[in-house]
Structure 1
Amino acid sequence: MWIALLIIVFVLFALSFTKFEIRKEIVINQSPENVWKVIIDFQNYKHWNTQLAYLGGDIKPNGDLHLKLSVSGTAPYEFKPKISHWEENKKFAWIAITGLPRIFDGEHFFELKNLGNNTTLLINREEYRGILSLIIKNLPMMKNAPTGFETMNLEIKNYTESNK
Structure 2
Amino acid sequence: MTGMPGAKRRFDWRRAGIGAVTMLAIVLILALWQRAHPYSIQTSVDIDAPPERVWTALTDFDAYPEWNPTLTGMRGEVKEGARLTFETDGMTFTPTVRDVERNRELRWEGHLGVVGIFDGEHSFTLEALPDGRTRLTQNEQFRGVAVLFVTGMLHGETAPSFHAMNAALRDRVESELPD
> TM class by shorter-chain length?
0.7 to 0.9
Which residue identity does 2:151 align to in structure 1? Answer: K
Higher fraction of strand:
1
Separation (CA, whole Å) in 1 of partners of 2:156 and 2:25: 32
**Can you list the C-alpha shifts for 1:114-160, whole angstroms capped at 9, x where unaligned?**
11221011101111011111112123x64122111111111010001
SS at match of 1:138: helix
The number of residue pairs the alignment matches comes to: 158
Output aligned runs, 1:135-154, within 5 Å: 135-139=149-153, 142-154=155-167
Separation (CA, whole Å) in 2 of partners of 1:124 and 1:9: 30
Separation (CA, whole Å) in 1 of partners of 2:100 and 2:78: 10
The answer to whether structure 1 residue 91 and structure 2 residue 105 are counterparts is yes
Separation (CA, whole Å) in 1 of partners of 2:171 and 2:27: 49
CA RMSD of aligned residues (A): 2.2
Specify the alignment match of 1:56 in structure 2: 75
TM-score, normalization by structure 1? 0.85
Unmatched 5+ stretches in structure 2: 1-17
Contact 1:106 1:127 (C-alpha < 8 Å) held by counterparts: yes
Contact 2:105 2:123 (C-alpha < 8 Å) held by counterparts: yes
Identity of aligned residues (%): 28
Separation (CA, whole Å) in 2 of partners of 1:6 and 1:20: 22
**Can you list the C-alpha shifts for 1:65-109, whole angstroms capped at 9, x where unaligned?**
110114xxxxx1111111111111111011111122221101111
Higher relative contact order (CA 8 A, sep 6+): 1
Bigger Rg over Cα: 2
Contact 2:34 2:148 (C-alpha < 8 Å) held by counterparts: no
Runs of 4+ in 1 over 6 A off after TM superposition: none
Specify the alignment match of 2:87 in structure 1: 68
Which residue identity does 1:126 align to in structure 2? Answer: E
TM-score, normalization by structure 2? 0.79
